[in-house]
Chains A and B, each alone.
Chain A
């Protein structure tokens, strides 16, 4: 069995942590070989380039040319040559790389800030609902319930404080969490509607053509 076909990286490295030397830096030691047609028969030379007939007497000894082709391309990856830069080009490369990392970091930070803003506003809204009275007044935290991980806990004033908060915190009827009303034993206990999962695209746009456009 020729397992050396799996030893050399052709595309991306299989495991990033175990991968030390980039494939681009590795020399391709094997010289170029022509694809051979493996035959166990005694015939020494093949003169014609025509595909071998598979239905011969010794057909079981002939390897499928498709497999030969796959083996050839597994063992002869098109590894690019290593990057070698002169001083100036390496410096230029390095500068651009640093700028790119900076850009990525700023973008990530912006997204994180956006999520944080959303989280904090949800938190303040829930806290306002928790302290909300039946008549719309804000009560003191001592009178309100829901102090703890269980939002159903009642405070001194009982059910008349924080009704909306308790409704907000109950996850019943929420898609995807398997907590549908009476959905415990059913075959479809819950799920995100499949329409939600459509990946977003830039086009077609909402208005397909700008009809009011003039030069």
Chain B
């Protein structure tokens, strides 16, 4: 299986550059339940590290060292002291700069990942290389891609009003489409984020609908739900401005992959007569949306196990947007198909 080859390759790549970090360097090609028990978890242990030298042992006198420090009147900082970065970023010239977000003391630090999702393993071992192969397009060495014309055109003419005028809007629409890069080993599309959105207009009369929807969304996504207000009055729908009517959850990192895997493996196969995602879905920049009805949403294992704790009439439907790093819908759809989401109808790019 290809999944088993990846640690091998990873381990060989480690060995090339530095000492092996993991002790995965002794790979077993065949794994059986009976042979497993004999293998050590770790082949080497930290007890093999040589003991400190004699000079170091002789010179080790913590009491004398602390006395020396007290004589010098330089106490250590308090043990309870912990650095907290400034609350607001005051610009690059300010003397107090926040630490990077990967630092545990940073306010933006998010711990994790706490798990290695199976979807991520499959993607890394198989899907990524397959996508790279299938979408490979050859350009001979020495070929230079011609430079693009102006994406936003200038105003050309004799009129004095053209001077300093903002550029003309993009051709054929109000929005500028994303640029497509050549497919490379660095820009293979992957799932970056999942947004789960639920609109419950009944929440204008009874807030219980919103609370139930929020509880369901955060139960299935493992992310705190955020409530949203209506932005406009819509008389036809009975929607009033500034009323809380919707709930969303943005799922990122490992949670997103767990969510997609759960959707593909558990929920979607249980839906009866589901045709798939519409082939025309997508925002033409690589994000694809589909919807689930209330009875389909109730198939999520988190809802199913305690279905009785939700009022059945208040279980909402939802929209699920899968954000990918692809820049067009075609590549995004190809990625989602290889992950296991079927599409039906005419595929619109």
Using a CB–CB cutoff of 8 Å, the interface residues on chain A facing chain B are: 1-3, 5-6, 9-16, 19-22, 63-64, 66-67, 69-71, 73-74, 84-88, 90, 93-94, 97, 101-103, 106-107, 109-116, 118-119, 122-123, 126-127, 130, 141, 146-149, 151, 165, 168-169, 174-178, 185, 187-192, 194, 196-202, 205-210, 213
Q: For this complex, into which size category does the number of interface residues on chain B fall?
A: 35 or more
Given contacts A107-B10, A210-B30, contact A11 B218 (CB under 8 A): yes
Tell me if A6 and B214 are in contact (CB < 8 A): yes
Tell me if A213 and B34 are in contact (CB < 8 A): yes
Residues of A within 8 A of B129 (CB): 114-115, 118
B48-56, B104-112, B150-158, B289-297 - interface stretch: B104-112
Tell me if A70 and B212 are in contact (CB < 8 A): yes
Tell me if A84 and B337 are in contact (CB < 8 A): no
B326 at the interface (CB under 8 A from A): no
Tell me if B134 and A197 are in contact (CB < 8 A): no
Residues of A within 8 A of B138 (CB): 123, 126-127, 130, 146, 151, 165, 168-169
Tell me if B309 and A14 are in contact (CB < 8 A): no
Residues of B within 8 A of A176 (CB): 134, 333-334, 337-338
Tell me if A190 and B347 are in contact (CB < 8 A): yes
Given contacts A177-B134, A194-B340, contact A200 B223 (CB under 8 A): no
Residues of A within 8 A of B308 (CB): 66
Tell me if A115 and B227 are in contact (CB < 8 A): no
The proximity string for B residues 310-349 relative to A, scoring 1 for CB distances below 8 Å and 0 otherwise, is 1100100000000000000010011001111111111101
* Smallest Cβ-Cβ distance to A97: which chain B residue: B104
Tell me if A67 and B82 are in contact (CB < 8 A): no
Tell me if B340 and A130 are in contact (CB < 8 A): no
Q: How far is the CA of A210 from the CA of B39 in the complex (A)?
A: 15
Which residues of chain B from 54 to 108 have any CB-CB distance to chain A below 8 Å in the complex?
Answer: 76-77, 79-82, 87, 102, 104, 107-108
Residues of B within 8 A of A194 (CB): 340, 342
B251 nearest CB across to chain A (Å): 8
Q: How far is the CA of A84 from the CA of B110 in the complex (A)?
A: 16
Residues of B within 8 A of A22 (CB): 107, 109-110
Tell me if A200 and B334 are in contact (CB < 8 A): no
B267 nearest CB across to chain A (Å): 14
Given contacts A103-B21, A112-B185, contact A189 B225 (CB under 8 A): no
Contact partner of B265 (CB less than 8 A), chosen from A130, A168, A199, A206, is A199
Using a CB–CB cutoff of 8 Å, the interface residues on chain B facing chain A are: 1-3, 6, 9-10, 13-14, 17-18, 21-22, 30-35, 76-77, 79-82, 87, 102, 104, 107-110, 118-119, 121-122, 124-126, 128-129, 132-143, 145, 184-186, 188, 203, 207-208, 210-212, 214-215, 218, 222-227, 244, 247-250, 252, 255, 261, 264-265, 279, 308-311, 314, 330, 333-334, 337-347, 349
Tell me if B224 and A73 are in contact (CB < 8 A): no
Q: How far is the CA of A69 from the CA of B308 in the complex (A)?
A: 12
Contact partner of B264 (CB less than 8 A), chosen from A102, A169, A175, A197, is A197
Q: How far is the CA of A90 from the CA of B103 in the complex (A)?
A: 12
* Smallest Cβ-Cβ distance to A115: which chain B residue: B185
Tell me if A119 and B227 are in contact (CB < 8 A): no
Given contacts A14-B225, A127-B138, contact A66 B10 (CB under 8 A): no
B68 nearest CB across to chain A (Å): 19
Residues of B within 8 A of A69 (CB): 309
Q: How far is the CA of A112 from the CA of B337 in the complex (A)?
A: 23
Q: How far is the CA of A174 from the CA of B334 in the complex (A)?
A: 11
Q: How far is the CA of A1 from the CA of B135 in the complex (A)?
A: 52
Contact partner of A199 (CB less than 8 A), chosen from B119, B227, B333, B334, is B119
Residues of B within 8 A of A116 (CB): 185
Contact partner of A114 (CB less than 8 A), chosen from B9, B81, B311, B339, is B9
Tell me if A87 and B79 are in contact (CB < 8 A): yes
